[in-house]
Amino acid sequence: MTKGTVWLMSIALSMALLASGWAQQTSPLAGEEALRKAVTVQSKMILVPDLLREVGKQTGVALTCGRELANDKLTVFVREKPAAELLAHVATILTAEWRKTKSGYMLVQTEQARRWEEEFFAAQREQGWKQARQHIQELMEASLQDYAVLVERTMQRRENLYRRPEGEKGNADSASMTIPVEPPVIGAELHEYLIGWLFRRFSRTLWTQLEQGEVVFASTFPMPGAMQLPSEAIGWARESAKLRLPIIRNEYSRSYEEFVLSEENMPTDLLLVLGARQVNGELQYALVQKMPRGISMERMVMPTVSLYEPPVETALAAHWRQWQTAGDARLPLLDTPVRAQREEEKSPYPNNAYLPHIPFTLADLAEQLSKRAEVNIVADAYRVFWYTGVPDVVKREQHTLREWLRGVFRMKEQAGWWRVEGDTLLMKHASYPLYRRTELPESTVRELERKAQEGRPLTLDDYAKLASTFTSLHELRNYAVRFDIQPLIHQYPHLQFWAALNPVQRANLLRSGLLTPDMLSAPQQRTFWQSAWRGMLSSHYHGFESPEEPNDLPIPRLELSADAGEQYEIVSARMRFTGNDLNRVREFARQQFTQGALDADYQIKGYRAETYTLRYFLYPGVRYSTQIVLRREIPLPQEQSR
């Protein structure tokens, strides 16, 4: 290689580094001869340390990264590209910078990038809590009024909506018309009035606990650690029953009215559980009413702001908007042909049946693009379904990269940013601060994926490994993994308690089926209570009962039982149904298909299911139950011909 050639390559490399939003003119990579070597990397989702090892292997240069980037992943499809150019793109996508070390080079996140991510969450928190505080203030003010007046005002408003001019005909007298659309009267719903009443009595300590994500609870009966609801709360609950009465009274509605207002449906005790998401102030509540006929429970999330779109005013969003390439830019790479797709791509994720219209991640779409177009790709990669769905353009005949980008980034919401630099397409998720903070440990995810692919059942211990780092923030997103993620999403508070137990305690609980707080250390006891209360707000498969039990059993306590069997599930974009009898499930599917409720491409899947039932006895006569269901897909037996 001549001196002139080396000089020209050095100039070209420096220009490539300068094109990076984070590279400096004095980047230490510019002077490294070995990094001018062309490298090839083809990986849909590669951990940053693994990528640097691969580039180091091809160039002989020692490349490492800071601990803060160890769980970050990238999508990289490049062929015969100078290593330094690739590494500059990597720094851009990760908002990082290269530093010279004794043995080589280290990639670290910039201080500015860390500040921007903190500002992102601070802006979301401020915006969310601002709305939450406004709603809280409205509830507090409403609770100053007489509750019966609020109920009467609501009922009057409903009647006004259904009042018709004389002589007008219709079916407004139908007893089934009990839930009209109406402007709400703030505080009229029982949970709103109770929450407002409770907030007016919050101490500074309780406000701090709520804002830090801890659960607060209150009851009409004495309960350790609970705030005391007033005796009038039972009267409010009885008054609230009027809101369930039909608007139009007739002979058909009288029996229902008698049922609603009967003494067996009147509450004798109340339990209110209240929590909030730290990051955006979303209030979560569960209201339990104990009645002579049994126990009822309602729960809801009071949303504030979405975390899927960065606030417009943040420096982070402003930087990436300025960085991205304009859609109408005249760049040769945007006219690159994208070859026709040979066959329809299928989702590799078993849990995508819950999200049938968004079966791929951005990394999946990038991999498909790399097979159909001559383009280098570098992008951040997260195990999150790309919520713009499958763009129509990928199903068409040959088109251009510009059209592909318009299809993939087609929603009005800013799903992500992209930029063209020479022969390389760079892509970045818009909500990457949320994804970075909530991405599951990749090594554990891959371990569980291997077990699932080998047909080995996943255990409570397996899910507990993931649950230990799970928070209410994780609930705000989806996860594209090759195993059933639903037990974690639905039951993470209870799995966190399981993770807090040592192996001996886990074995004893499985064997005896009984655990009391005196068997636990002080930190474990705290986890026990927080898991029980948080589970009421987050868990699926929940229920309350008033069991008859021997008086000599300790309270509080946790009982655990395990059961195993087969489950059969109808999987379709239009419906889901699960049963234990395969023949009945097949017959039901045929009926639904004949009636047009199922598409022709519906599937029936079989599972071996292990069901763990947890029963929390937190107060005499009150039992809270939930289930953790671990499923492993099994082949279906051949259907007998008739």
The pLDDT assigned to 254 comes to 81
What is the per-residue pLDDT across 398-449, written as a single tens digit (0 to 9) for each?
889 998 998 888 755 558 999 999 999 999 999 899 999 999 999 999 999 9
pLDDT at 160: 78
Please state, in angstroms and rounded to a whole number, the distance separating the CA atoms of residues 379 and 409: 14
Is the omega angle on the peptide bond into residue 165 within 30 degrees of 0, that is, cis?
no
Cβ-contact 383, 481 below 8 angstroms: yes
Return the SS3 of 442: helix
* pLDDT above 50 for 179: no
Range with the largest mean pLDDT of 305-309, 324-328, 609-613: 609-613
- pLDDT surpassing 80 at residue 553: no
Kindly tell me if the per-residue pLDDT of 7 is higher than 50: no
CB 48 within 8 A of CB 66: no
Residue 220: per-residue pLDDT = 94
Residue 100 pLDDT more than 80? yes
User: How large is the average pLDDT for residues 108-124?
Assistant: 92
Residue scoring higher pLDDT (291 or 443): 443
Domains of the chain: 33-109 (3.55.50.30), 122-161+185-301 (no CATH), 324-436 (3.55.50), 460-634 (no CATH)
pLDDT at 256: 82
Find the mean pLDDT for residues 208-214: 89
Query: At residue 167, does pLDDT exceed 50?
Result: no
CB < 8 Å & 24+ apart, contacts of 401-406:
401/333, 401/334, 401/335, 401/336, 401/338, 401/369, 401/373, 401/375, 401/425, 402/327, 402/334, 402/335, 403/338, 404/338, 404/369, 404/373, 405/327, 405/334, 406/327
For the packed helices 315-323 and 111-142, what is the interaxial angle rounded to 10 degrees? 130
pLDDT at 535 over 60: yes
Query: Across the chain, what does the average pLDDT equal?
Result: 85
Residue identified by tokens 């026990």 is: 528
For 637, other C-beta atoms within 10 Å of its C-beta total 8
The candidate with the shortest Cα–Cα distance to 267, out of 297, 299, 242, 292, is 292
State how far the Cα of 263 lies from the Cα of 314, in Å rounded to an integer: 56
Q: Is the pLDDT of residue 24 over 70?
A: no
Full-model pTM: 0.84
Nearest to 619 by CA among 195, 288, 297: 288
- pLDDT (0 to 100) of residue 238: 94
Helices (H), 415-485: 432-438, 442-453, 460-467
Mean pLDDT across 100-116:
96
Residue 272 sits at the vertex; the CA angle it makes with 267 and 274, to the nearest 5 degrees, is 160
pLDDT of residue 310: 53
Task: Judge contact between 61 and 96, C-beta under 8 A.
Answer: no
Q: If you average pLDDT over residues 24-32, what whole number do you get?
A: 75
**pLDDT class of 181 with cuts at 50, 70, 90:** low
pLDDT digits (tens, 9 = 90+) for 541-551: 567 776 666 66
Tokens standing for residue 3: 């001196």
Strand partners of residue 376: 424
| Residues 252-264 pLDDT 10s | 778 888 888 889 8
Residues whose CB falls within 8 Å of the CB of residue 224, separated by 6 or more in sequence, listed in order: none
* pLDDT over threshold 60, residue 10: no
Residue 213 vs residue 444, higher pLDDT:
444
Residues 6+ apart with CB under 8 A from 357: 389, 390, 573
What does the pLDDT read at residue 311?
56
Lowest mean pLDDT among 80-84, 366-370, 393-397, 462-466: 393-397
pLDDT of residue 411: 57
Q: What is the dihedral of CA 197, 199, 200, 206, to 10 degrees?
A: 140
In contact, 54 and 96? CB cutoff 8 Å: no
Burial code (b: 16+ CB inside 10 Å, e: under 16) for 363-381 equals bbbbbbbbebbebbbbbbb
Pinpoint the alpha helices (H) of 94-227.
111-142, 147-162, 190-199, 204-211
Span 490-527, pLDDT tens digits: 899 999 999 999 999 999 999 999 999 999 999 999 99
pLDDT at 321 over 60: yes
Question: Which span out of 53-62, 266-275, 616-625 was modeled with the highest average pLDDT?
Answer: 53-62
Torsion of CA 161, 162, 166, 170, to 10 degrees: 140
CB atoms within 10 A of CB 112: 14
Q: Note whether 604 and 586 are within 8 A (CB).
A: yes
